A and B are shown apart, each in its own frame.
Chain A
Amino acid sequence: MDALYLIKIGEIGLKDGNQSEFVAALKRDIKRRMYGIHSVLESKDSRYYLTVDEEYAEHAELVLSRTPGINGWARARRCEKSMEAIAATGIALMRPKFVAGAKSFKVEARRSDKSFPLQSYDIAREIGGAVFTALSGIRVDVNRPDAVLYVEIREQAYLYTDGDAGVRGLPVGSGGKGLLLLSGGIDSPVAGFRMLSRGLALESLYFHSYPYTSKEAWEKVRDLATVLASFAGGMILHTAPFTDVQLKIKKDAPSDRATLYLRACMMMAADMMARKRQLNCIVTGESLGQVASQTAENMRFTGSYTNYPIMRPLSGTDKEDTVKEARRMGSYETSILPFEDCCVLFSPKHPVLKAKFEQEKAAFDALDFQGIVAASVDSAETLELRYPGPIGLSQIRRR
């Protein structure tokens, strides 16, 4: 038996001249994520339908739930265009909703096949009556129903109920490709998720400071990248060894500059990696004022070590909202595992808060971090986290 899904798009539908490009990108992305599975993706009357073998329904639902550009989706049922068949299918669809606690409902009908003898209103009224009779105790409420049954009459009859939410936004890759600076914290995965859902394809870069950071800390980052991979349709994670950079900072830099200079070095490394991988922007989880050193002055300083655009989608987001988003996307539980970056010995007690731009640049540049940072980027290891991520994850190590 086939499983049939109705896909709802949101923002793409609002696009004007270039809508077809976005639609094509979304279709490509869905097909890519369904790779190796026989599926049919068709669009009819500005609606999208995905058909897969029942065996792959679970995979299809994962794809639909996690592919940016999809606003929502619903498992639909198809039946012959007779009122008896439609009523029976409608009752079968509504019964689980009723059992799950829906007390009221309405039917919305749409008739694309104008040869069908009943008009939309009459279809809704009759099917509604059949459901009302079958499920004793359910009310009709056309204003604020607990559940809605949709009926569409086309070459066949299609029925579905309120579906599940999608990621929304725009198809991955429609906005270019960037490099996410991924740490083991709460913020950077959320920043990555936000940009993914704005259509940015991503690779991730993690700075590993063994032995100050443990293998478990790296595994945590890999798991976070895996969560992102499930939305991105796969993810490349670069791990750059940063111990020597940290030690040089500790040795050469004033202690109150340690955090600031480390961030500047990371930005320098990100710039090199973006160039090497032909990416177009850098994404960070920075949020203004979240830690004392994340000020506009300091961001100007660190940002001066790249000329790529830096996306900081959380810069104006309250931490509580970030946490909520992390919970929703499924990264929070991993982020709070206790393998924190062991940089406490590197962190100054009183970090510099407002770097004086020219002065700071001169002092930083005099320490000549270029070579040591380049060496780190050159020896970075690359891991490809393949889709679909959490289920059936497979990994390939390569250089």
Chain B
Amino acid sequence: MDSCYLDWAASAPPYDDILRAHAELSLRLYANPSSSHGPGKAAYAELTQARGSLAGVLQSPPERLFFSSGGSEADAIVLLSTLFDKKRRGIVVSAIEHAAVYEQARLLEGFGLRVNYVKPDKDGIVQPEAVLAALEPDCGLVSIMTVNNETGAVQPVAAIARAVRDALPQRPPLIHSDAVQALGKIPCSMKALGIDAASFSAHKLGGPRGIGALYLKKDIPALARGGGQEGGIRAGTHNTAGAWAFSQAAVRAAADLDDNYKRARMLEKRLLEGIKSIPGALSLPLGRQAGDERFSPYILSVAFPGLGGETLARVLDDQGIAVSTGSACSHGSKERRILDAQGLAPELSFSYLRISTGRGSSVHDIDLFLERAAAAYARYKT
């Protein structure tokens, strides 16, 4: 049976050659990069080189990049650093953040910090004015993601950063962005974004699991302490081979960015047109058009009203098509926070599916999805 993988936003199939070389490197450069002997120095050299390569992609000074265990940890380091500031007790995050930011913010509320959650507009985009409205003078952190992981909405992070700094010029808050769905997919320059901190993950762009990075314009205090690795920002023995593979994957993705982006736009068009041809099916946000620069072409939300997203995903899975759904079987039993935040009707968010593509996705994948989804929808729609 034909099958296809359309869940690249959850985890991308790795670059085969990089993952193999990564395993080989793990066997060879096993020494601790913090050790002062020869093998340790060799590992350290590789780590430095990896940091430099990644910095090149991100347009960041290498010494401002800190390797972490992944995106969630990078987010946590930033959010938890707010606990040290006794004077600035306010935080602003968007209501559509990934759980790595959102749940961390909720945790901070429990520690007495004041968190304002900014709602997006109906297209799922957080407008700078909305962020300003949530801003208070004692705000210590603003965190708005670069690309939303469910709708693909590209957030105006640079404009938000400028607006926030203009509003609080004396003591601007730290401005952070979870850029996990952006790196390797859309241009992602720290210089251009003009933010203070950003989080990245390797496995979303074809690197290995368990390695990510945090960009920090300036040092922040870290809550978790240890051996002082990564400038004390992220303690724990360096993952030399992981860092190498991450940087290789990032360099590869950057080199192919334009070509892949063009193809992703073409697939987006094919998918959106295909969805239009299925009676009843809708793209989310409603009226999303192919080529709209406000959305990453790699992530699309679609709805099949009258059929639970989970149900359709189950049928598709049994037919070899891997897609993602945030929806559960009954209303309210599992939140669909992101779609709910943009005011989508429950019937639509209930029947939502996420289709996410990547460098290896093909027209055939999209057509297969459309064909099988249409058939399942016709058969099981209620």
B-binding residues in A (CB < 8 A): 210-212, 214, 243, 247, 250, 338, 340-342, 344-346
Q: Is the CB of A344 within 8 A of B311?
A: no
Q: Is the CB of B314 within 8 A of A214?
A: yes
Q: Contacts A342-B308, A342-B310, A345-B306 known; A212 to B330 CB distance under 8 Å?
A: no
B220 within 8 A of A: no
Q: Is the CB of A346 within 8 A of B382?
A: yes
Residues of A near B382 (CB, < 8 A) are: 247, 250, 345-346
B315 within 8 A of A: yes
Most A Cβ at <10 Å: residue of B307, B312, B329:
B329
B331 within 8 A of A: yes
Which of B328, B331, B333, B380 sits near A212, CB closer than 8 Å? B380
Q: Is the CB of B315 within 8 A of A344?
A: no
Cα separation A338 to B333 with both chains bound (whole Å): 9
Residues of B near A247 (CB, < 8 A) are: 380, 382
Closest chain A residue, CB of each to CB of B347: A345
Cα separation A345 to B308 with both chains bound (whole Å): 8
Residues of B near A338 (CB, < 8 A) are: 328, 333
Cα separation A243 to B314 with both chains bound (whole Å): 14
Q: Tell me the minimal C-beta distance from A250 to chain B in angstroms.
A: 5
Which of B312, B318, B329, B380 sits near A344, CB closer than 8 Å? B329
Q: Is the CB of B315 within 8 A of A211?
A: yes
0/1 interface trace, chain B 135-161, chain A, CB 8 Å (1 if under): 000000000000000000000000000
Which of A214, A250, A340 sits near B330, CB closer than 8 Å? A340
Cα separation A247 to B382 with both chains bound (whole Å): 7
Closest chain A residue, CB of each to CB of B311: A211
Which of B318, B329, B376 sits near A342, CB closer than 8 Å? B329
Q: Tell me the minimal C-beta distance from A61 to chain B in angstroms.
A: 39
Most B Cβ at <10 Å: residue of A243, A341, A344, A346:
A344
Give chain B interface residues in 317-363, CB to chain A under 8 Å.
Answer: 318, 328-331, 333
Closest chain A residue, CB of each to CB of B380: A211
A-binding residues in B (CB < 8 A): 306-308, 310-312, 314-315, 318, 328-331, 333, 376, 380, 382
Mind listing 19 A-B residue pairs with CB under 8 Å? A210-B314, A211-B312, A211-B314, A211-B318, A211-B376, A212-B308, A212-B311, A212-B380, A214-B314, A247-B380, A338-B333, A340-B329, A340-B330, A342-B310, A342-B311, A342-B329, A344-B330, A345-B306, A345-B308
Residues of B near A342 (CB, < 8 A) are: 308, 310-311, 329-330
Number of A-B contacts (CB under 8 A): 37
Residues of A near B376 (CB, < 8 A) are: 211
Q: Is the interface of A mostly helix, strand, loop or mixed?
A: loop
Residues of A near B318 (CB, < 8 A) are: 211
Q: Contacts A211-B315, A212-B380, A250-B382 known; A344 to B331 CB distance under 8 Å?
A: yes
Q: Is the CB of A340 within 8 A of B380?
A: no
Cα separation A341 to B315 with both chains bound (whole Å): 16
Q: Tell me the minimal C-beta distance from B346 to chain A in angstroms.
A: 11
Cα separation A346 to B314 with both chains bound (whole Å): 18
Cα separation A250 to B381 with both chains bound (whole Å): 10
Question: Which 4 interchain pairs have the tightest Cβ spacing?
Answer: A342-B329, A345-B382, A344-B330, A211-B315
Residues of B near A214 (CB, < 8 A) are: 310, 314
Q: Tell me the minimal C-beta distance from B305 to chain A in angstroms.
A: 10
Closest chain B residue, CB of each to CB of A210: B314
Cα separation A346 to B311 with both chains bound (whole Å): 13
Cα separation A211 to B307 with both chains bound (whole Å): 10
Cα separation A340 to B308 with both chains bound (whole Å): 13
Cα separation A208 to B376 with both chains bound (whole Å): 18
Residues of B near A344 (CB, < 8 A) are: 308, 329-331
Closest chain A residue, CB of each to CB of B316: A211
Cα separation A344 to B314 with both chains bound (whole Å): 16
Q: Tell me the minimal C-beta distance from A242 to chain B in angstroms.
A: 13
Closest chain B residue, CB of each to CB of A258: B382
In addition to A210-B314, A342-B329, 9 A-B residue pairs with Cβ atoms within 8 Å of each other are: A211-B318, A212-B311, A212-B380, A247-B380, A250-B382, A344-B329, A345-B306, A345-B308, A346-B382
Q: Tell me the minimal C-beta distance from A386 to chain B in angstroms.
A: 29
Residues of B near A346 (CB, < 8 A) are: 382
Q: Tell me the minimal C-beta distance from A256 to chain B in angstroms.
A: 15
Cα separation A321 to B318 with both chains bound (whole Å): 40
Cα separation A341 to B311 with both chains bound (whole Å): 11
Cα separation A334 to B310 with both chains bound (whole Å): 21
Most A Cβ at <10 Å: residue of B306, B307, B308, B380:
B380
Most B Cβ at <10 Å: residue of A212, A214, A344, A345:
A345
Residues of A near B307 (CB, < 8 A) are: 345
Cα separation A243 to B380 with both chains bound (whole Å): 9
Cα separation A345 to B376 with both chains bound (whole Å): 16
Q: Tell me the minimal C-beta distance from B380 to chain A in angstroms.
A: 6
Q: Tell me the minimal C-beta distance from A262 to chain B in angstroms.
A: 13
Residues of B near A250 (CB, < 8 A) are: 382
Q: Tell me the minimal C-beta distance from A29 to chain B in angstroms.
A: 40
Q: Tell me the minimal C-beta distance from B326 to chain A in angstroms.
A: 15
Cα separation A250 to B380 with both chains bound (whole Å): 11
Residues of A near B312 (CB, < 8 A) are: 211
Cα separation A254 to B329 with both chains bound (whole Å): 23
Cα separation A345 to B312 with both chains bound (whole Å): 13
Closest chain B residue, CB of each to CB of A342: B329
Closest chain A residue, CB of each to CB of B382: A345
Q: Tell me the minimal C-beta distance from B78 to chain A in angstroms.
A: 32
Closest chain B residue, CB of each to CB of A250: B382
Cα separation A211 to B373 with both chains bound (whole Å): 13
Cα separation A250 to B379 with both chains bound (whole Å): 12
Q: Tell me the minimal C-beta distance from B374 to chain A in angstroms.
A: 15
Residues of B near A341 (CB, < 8 A) are: 329
Residues of A near B306 (CB, < 8 A) are: 345
Cα separation A338 to B330 with both chains bound (whole Å): 10
Closest chain B residue, CB of each to CB of A246: B382
Residues of B near A243 (CB, < 8 A) are: 380
Cα separation A210 to B329 with both chains bound (whole Å): 13
Q: Tell me the minimal C-beta distance from A152 to chain B in angstroms.
A: 57
Closest chain B residue, CB of each to CB of A212: B311
Most A Cβ at <10 Å: residue of B306, B311, B315, B376:
B311
Closest chain B residue, CB of each to CB of A216: B314
Cα separation A1 to B331 with both chains bound (whole Å): 59
Most B Cβ at <10 Å: residue of A214, A250, A342:
A342
Residues of A near B328 (CB, < 8 A) are: 338
